[in-house]
Amino acid sequence: MNAGATGQAPLELIGVTKRWRGGPALDGVDLVVPRGAVVGLVGPSGAGKTTLMRVALGLLEPDAGRASVFGVPAAQIARNSGRVGLLLDGAALEPGLTVADNLELHAIRHGRGGTDAKPLLERLGLTRLASRRASRLSQGEAIRVALARALLLAPDLLVLDEPVAHLDPALATTALDLFAEAARERGTAILVSSHQLAELERVADRLLLLHQGKVLLHGDLAELLATITPAVRVAARPLEKARAVLVRDPQVRSVTSLRVDGVEVLRVETATNGATAALNAALHVAGVAVDSIAPERPTLEELFRRTLGKAATASHEAVAPRGATG
Partner 1 sequence: MSCLAIVRAELFRLTHTRAGRLGVLVPALLGGGQVLVGELLAGVKAARALAESGAIVGDAQVETAFGPLADGLGGLGAMALVMIALLTGAFTIVRERDQGSLPQWLLARSRGDLVVGKALATCLYVIVAFVALFVASMGAAALRHDFSAIVDDGFEMASAQELWIEVARAVGAGLPAILCCACFGVLVSAATGSVGAAAVGAVVPFTLLALFQTTLGSAAERLFIAYAPFFSERAPLVRLTKVARAFSDTHWESGELLRAALVPGGEAVACLVLAWFITRKRAA
Chain residues that interact with partner 1, rule: CB under 8 A: 54, 57-61, 76-78, 80-82, 84, 86, 88-98, 101, 104-106, 108-111, 113, 149
| Closest distance to partner 1 from the beta carbon of 150 (Å) | 9
Q: Which is nearer to partner 1, 92 or 294 (CB)?
A: 92
| Closest distance to partner 1 from the beta carbon of 3 (Å) | 16
DSSP annotation of 229 reads P
Q: Which is nearer to partner 1, 23 or 262 (CB)?
A: 23
Q: Which is nearer to partner 1, 108 or 281 (CB)?
A: 108
| Closest distance to partner 1 from the beta carbon of 74 (Å) | 11
Q: Which is nearer to partner 1, 155 or 230 (CB)?
A: 155
Q: Which is nearer to partner 1, 107 or 203 (CB)?
A: 107
284: number of Cβ within 10 Å: 13
What are φ and ψ of residue 68, in 5° steps? -140, 150
Q: What CA–CA distance (Å, rounded) separates 184 from 307?
A: 29
Q: Which is nearer to partner 1, 88 or 130 (CB)?
A: 88
| Closest distance to partner 1 from the beta carbon of 64 (Å) | 16
Residues 6+ apart with CB under 8 A from 62: 16, 17, 18, 26, 55
Q: What CA–CA distance (Å, rounded) separates 16 from 50?
A: 14
Q: What CA–CA distance (Å, rounded) separates 143 from 87?
A: 9
Q: Which is nearer to partner 1, 133 or 218 (CB)?
A: 133
Residues 47, 49, 50, 56, CA torsion sign? positive
Contact between residue 133 and residue 95 where contact means Cβ atoms under 8 Å apart = yes
Q: What CA–CA distance (Å, rounded) separates 152 from 87?
A: 12
DSSP annotation of 86 reads E
- CA 160 to mean position of chain CA atoms: 10
The sheet with strand 252-260 has its strands ordered as 252-260, 263-270, 231-237, 289-295
| Closest distance to partner 1 from the beta carbon of 138 (Å) | 17
| Closest distance to partner 1 from the beta carbon of 104 (Å) | 7
Q: Which is nearer to partner 1, 84 or 242 (CB)?
A: 84
| Closest distance to partner 1 from the beta carbon of 91 (Å) | 8
3: number of Cβ within 10 Å: 23
Q: Which is nearer to partner 1, 91 or 209 (CB)?
A: 91
Strands (E) located in 8-152: 11-20, 23-33, 38-42, 64-69, 72-73, 84-87
| Closest distance to partner 1 from the beta carbon of 263 (Å) | 46
| Closest distance to partner 1 from the beta carbon of 288 (Å) | 58
Q: What CA–CA distance (Å, rounded) separates 122 from 5?
A: 32
